[in-house]
Structures are given as structure tokens and as C-alpha cells.
Amino acid sequence: MTETPSSAPRLRVAPSPTGDPHVGTAYMSLFNLAFARQQGGSFVLRIEDTDRARFREDSEQQVFETLHWLGLQWDEGPDVGGPFAPYRQSERLDTYRPYVERLLADGRAYHCWCSTERLAQMRDMQQKLKQPTGYDRLCHGKTREERAELPGFNETPVVRMLIPDDVELTFDDLIRGRVSAPRPDDQVILKGDGFPTYHLAVVVDDHEMGITHVVRGEEWISSTPKHIQLYKDLGLEPPKFAHMPLLRNTDKSKISKRKNPAARLTWFKEQGYLPEALVNFLALLAYPPKEGAAGEDVEVFTFEEFSEDFDWKKVNPVGPIFDLKKLDWLNGVYIRGLEVGELASRLLPFLQADGVLGDNPSLGQLARLKKVTELIQTRMVLLTEASALVRPFFLGDDEIEIAEDARAQLKDDSGAVLAAATKALEDVDDTRSGVLGSESGWSASAIEAVLRTAIVEEMGIKPKFAFGPLRTAVSGQRISPPLFESMEILGKTSTLARLHRLHDDLA
């Protein structure tokens, strides 16, 4: 890996492995990566796994897999290494202790022996008296022995930072300009188990890893004065900050995995969204559309196009509504834009999961899948919708089950329509000719011509109603891929067998 110049920006995303990755991890990664790539800088993935109570072992791998799926590739991280390894906080515990000792020695931090019960009572009293909640500094300036004589003593101390009276409460934000935050209390920076809290670890790690820009959600605005103060207390240069707007549900509440399945990053893959559509969607949530040649909004763009003219000043600080209808629209656009073979390969895992195709499909099955994919490409919004459309092409003629809604729409003349269609199609020559038998009289155009003559013209049935029974016989569904093209793919033998079967069923 080539070293980036010292002037090049370094950005990071630092998820916690406490469950399925949150969609916000991809959202933050996208904006970090766009700026890093535009500026020729580096993008770092760091795993913040100091919350051992909520730690989940498989979660880290899910982070890797989902971000890889989205194409949001990092330059340094636990899996790829880098000059500032290790990239897991749990492997960096020895890194934090010297910083804590320095703060203690300089009087900018102190030990606190208060029990959790005592802290809970203190907060309850503050709330009853309508006072600001925060630590009351009972332990500040006391030795262990002095504190032990007072109520609510705990043998294992934590370390708290000492917030000075003149703490700076405003800071410059790349998105929001000058920002004000409430006064912080004396935050715990080292827990009793020896693990740092987020506030200390993030400052130390960002400094040690040379992070120049900290891009995170707006919920961290209130913590920024603590972090800037820690940089100041340690004599370190703080990074630049950019606080992204929070993703919100339609009711304006913060999107969460407990209430909204779409907050889970794995959900989008399961539902059949294309990664490039999701990346495009996440960009549009907080960034304006690109401008076309005539000044029109261009909402469909690649990551490279997004990164090329990226500007923090264009980020909208207002929390965007997570509108899945827009994502569905984008997904349809991207599906229609794929080359047919590429779309077929993306459909394959979903078809295999649903039992439409086996684990090792034959070349003939793959060739048929490509033909079917071309028929259904404009009829899908999600890849998961393919199985219902594709399944009839891979079932035996005697395995087609007629759906209830399809059967319900059949009219009294359906049997006569099926009989007329069968008679007409029997006369279509399906003999193969040409190079390797690539040509046949059994084509969609030939099929359509004879069926229109037999049913529309000779039976006098309007085209709108003429082919419903045939669609049901061929696919078992009320809605299916284009009928004549479907018959061409199935071939004459299967098509006639299915028409006969439904005709006999209705007799």
C-alpha cells in the first residue's frame, strides 16, 4: 500500500460490533469515503468494541461483508492491516493508559469511587430539584481514604475528566458552520474494568491514527466540547468536525433497528436491493441531485460521480426522511440498466434460495434463465420478485399450480379460448434450422400472429381479454412475463401441454 502524503486527509468510520450493522454505518462510510477519494486521502475502518456487554462476535464480519457488498472499500482496517494497527479498540488497551496517567498527573482528571447506587440517587435528586444532571464532583480532590469515609463508596474507581470553568462550548463544523453545545459534566474516561469509554478512546485513536476529519452523526454534537477539551488537555491538535444529519423515519423519529427493519444494513441485501442503488439513495438523503446539461436535477449517479464534485457545504443539515419509495424507484432504474447476463447472475442466488434452481444449474438452465431475465427485467423493483416470475419456466408441465386469483378471473369462454389457441398453435412449425439450429418458426411473432387471428379475429374477443386464460395456463399466475415470448422460451411441446392441462381441468 502506498503511503498518502502527510497533507492528504485521513477519515474513518468506527462502528461498534453490537448486532447487525446499522444503515447509518454505510451512510457515514459513503460520505467519508467520497471526500477521501476526492482529495486523494485515506479511509480507515476502526472497530470500536469496548462495549463488552453488548459485543457480538459475528457482528464485525457482518460489517466487513455489508460494506464490501456496497463497494465502500477502506484502505486500512482490522482485516487489511495498515501502518496504525491494531484497528480494534480491544487490542489497543495499552495505548490509552499513558494518556489517562498524563491527565491524572496534570490534574485534568481524577479518580471517582462513587457507587452506581450513589450516582443514581444523585441524578434522581437533581431531577426532582430540576437541576442540570451531571456528576457533583464528590470525589474530586479526595484521596481514596478520604472518599472511603463517605457514603456510596465503591472499591474499584473510574477516572473522570475535569471540565474547566472556561471550557469552550462552540466549535466550527464543516456542514453547520459555528455550532454551540451544552456544557458537559465530568465525563468518565476510564471504566472500572480498565476499558476506556468512547470519549477517551475516540480522541486517542483519532490522534494516533492521524485522522484529520471526524465525520459522524449529529447526536455527537453535544459530546464535541468534551473531545475538543481532551485534545487541549493532552496538547494535541484536534481534527476538523462534520456532523451529518440523522436519518429519520416518516414520523420524524430517529431510525432505529428496534423499530424499523430498514435500519439493518443486511435487510437491504435480503430484500433484493442492488448495492449501487442503495449507495445512490444514501447520497441523495443528505446531498442535492447533480445538475444536468440543461440545469435539470439528475438523481441517478455513480459513487465516482458523487465523489468527483463533493463539497461539505452542500450537505443538508436537516435530518432526511428515509423514504423507501425513492429507493424502490432507484432500484428499478438500476435493474433496468444492467446488462441481461449481469442481472441474471445477480438473480441466481435468490432463485437458488427459493428453490427455483439448484446449487449447480446446468448450462441449459442458465441459458434459459438469461432469456427469461430479458423478459422480466422491466417488471421488477426488487430482485426478490424474480422467483415468482421465473419459477414457471423451470417447472414440469404437470407441476404448474394455478393461483387462486388467476383461476378467479377465468370466464365462461376460457375453455373455448384454450381449445382455439391449442388448435392454432399446433400448426406452427417448430422445426429448427440455421447454424446449430438457432432459427425456428416457433417465435414470439409467429405465435402472436396465429393467436390474434384465432381468438381476436375469429372468436371476436377483445385483445384485453383474449389472452388471460393462456397466461394462466402457461404460468399459473394472473400476472406473468410477456405471454408470446414466454411461449417461445417454453417451446411448443410445453406450451401445448400446459394449454391442454388447464382446458381439461376446466372441462
| Residues annotated as part of the active site | 257
- With contact defined as beta carbons under 8 Å apart, do 129 and 88 qualify? no
Q: What is the spatial distance between Cα 9 and Cα 310, in angstroms, rounded to a whole number?
A: 14
Q: What is the spatial distance between Cα 396 and Cα 426, in angstroms, rounded to a whole number?
A: 20
- With contact defined as beta carbons under 8 Å apart, do 55 and 327 qualify? no
Query: CA of 16: how far to CAs of 27, 60, 186, 390, 469, in Å?
Result: 15, 8, 24, 40, 55
Task: Give the residue carrying C-alpha cell 464534485.
Answer: 309
How many Cα atoms sit within 13 Å of 232 on the Cβ side? 14
185: left (phi over 0), alpha (psi -120 to 50) or beta: beta
* Residue 298, strand partner residues: 290
Q: What is the spatial distance between Cα 18 and Cα 53, in angstroms, rounded to a whole number?
A: 9
Q: What is the spatial distance between Cα 410 and Cα 166, in angstroms, rounded to a whole number?
A: 80
Task: Give the residue carrying C-alpha cell 487489511.
Answer: 80
Q: Which of 367, 373, 278 is nearest to 329 (CA)?
A: 278
How many Cα atoms sit within 13 Å of 145 on the Cβ side? 0
- With contact defined as beta carbons under 8 Å apart, do 321 and 248 qualify? yes
Radius of gyration in angstroms for the set of CA atoms belonging to the chain, rounded to a whole number: 32
Largest CA distance in the chain: 105
